[in-house]
Amino acid sequence: MLAPADSTLAIVPTFNALSDIYTSDLLKHAARFQLLTEAFIATYGFKPSFIVRAPGRVNIIGEHIDYCGFPVFPMAIVPDSLIAVRATREHRIRLANINPKYPSREFSCESGSSVTINNTTHEWTNYFKCGYKGAIEAIDCTNPQGMECLMDGSVPSSAGLSSSSAIVCCAVLATMKVNGRLLPKSDAVETAVASERYIGTNGGGMDQTTSIMSQSQSAVFIEFDPELKITPVKFPSTDPQITFVIANTLVVSDKAVTAPVCYNLRVVETRIGALILAKHLGIANRAACKAIDPLTFKVVMDEYFATQDTAGSDDMQVWIDHLGAMLQASTEAFGAHPDGYTREQMAAVLNITPDALSTVVHEDRFPVRAQRFKLLQRAQHAFSEALRVVKFRQICESGDTRINYCSALGDLMNCSQDSCRDLFECSCPEIDELCALARRSGSFGSRLTGAGWGGCTVHLVLKDRVGSFITALKQGFYAKHVPNINDEALSDAIFVTTPGNGAAFYTFD
């Protein structure tokens, strides 16, 4: 299991007051919980034992680098997944959704190994089944309890706000609770991360970590290597206050469907890049590099500087120095192939066959399709994005009143978007258009958030300009692209968010 920092030792909390979960709009949330409870009774004939809640997340900065081993800077948002649950004595899991467009399903729960997931079919219950299967295996449960479940989700799907991970986290936590084995948060995170890979996406751990570990009023600086470490970070105090607006392009990109040419391909490119960079730096045969599967850019960086004495040095400055050196090294390692490598060229550099290379990067589980692999661009993005994340935290914690926080943080967000567009190629025309409009309309920093190729954007805006900013985006983007959108859908597409709480159980006692 993950080696937790102190803040990860606790289990997910249980509350019987919504004020312990949400910090505003309590009447709205109370009505939603009441509706879910009444719908559960109407569906199953009994009151639920508890409701498990896991939020979505917005990544402020640090895109596509969690699976490279580098830190990220997300925060939980208020939109969340709720699942009302009741244990039964039957060996069946019954799943229903409060939204009638999502069909009800049920399956046998005799053991985790008996759960089959058809990841060729895009089905909402697959995400629950992933979490259920992973949880049963994690707690080594041989005689699992049956469950009746009713879900209600307010995180927009396929929008880059981790709606799928919120479902997986809910399923993991509900399954553990029903079967009497609630694990520490760190282990629950590890279980959720591994579980979601059953759907066929080779993700990192940012989404699940944020959903389970977050604290109200703070973003989280998440480090994954050499162990999971969570550092709450508050945004600087400014007048007017810094706020973040999420704006959905409404371009749908489901990463489970497009994975072979988008998400999983980027993962494979960074993994092969790490192998070749280690060889270029002369450390590929060191035990630390050979023992890790998969090898990541973070492991390569740490091993290259393993003999450097950093005792007494500022941690953030060490990050900055090391990442800067790796940026230069990656240019030297991959610069001869600015248009990318073929499979044969990459295999030749590593002195293995193309088939052996596919095995090393686990294409049997996560297949990809590409003619050329752009290792230079992907490495440059990974190292420079990690550098921006570290600098973002450094600015937030500086306490230096001479800094123009909005400009400094906004510049990093804008550079991140440029890198996502030009180096990692995970943007899309609608994201580029929306970010450009946002900057002209008062945003200090605008970028995609989530996997990209569609979905949501995030914008740093001062609180007193939020109203005019949202109006400008509604008129300049949404009126143009979705002129017939209704008010409710538009409110769901663009909204202000603040750092929210992580996962929790709600009971009726």
Residues annotated as part of the active site? 207
- Is the peptide bond between 294 and the residue preceding it cis, with omega within 30 degrees of 0? yes
At position 88, the amino acid (one-letter code) is T
- What element of type H or E holds 246? strand 242-248
- Is the peptide bond between 240 and the residue preceding it cis, with omega within 30 degrees of 0? yes
Dist. CA 286–CA 279, nearest whole Å = 10
CA distance readout (Å), 5 to 129, 192, 227: 29, 18, 8
Bridge partners (DSSP) listed for residue 462 = 242
Convert 327-347 to b/e letters by CB count within 10 Å (16 or more is b).
bebbeebbeebeebbebeebb
Q: Which long-range contacts (CB under 8 A, 24 or more apart) does 351-357 make?
A: 357/272
| DSSP strand pairing (504-506 vs 14-15) | parallel
Dist. CA 125–CA 102, nearest whole Å = 9
Using CA atoms in the order 466, 472, 474, 477, what is the torsion angle rounded to 10 degrees? -130
Q: DSSP secondary structure string, 170-222?
A: HHHHHHHHHTT-PPPHHHHHHHHHHHHGGGT----SHHHHHHHH--TT-EEEE
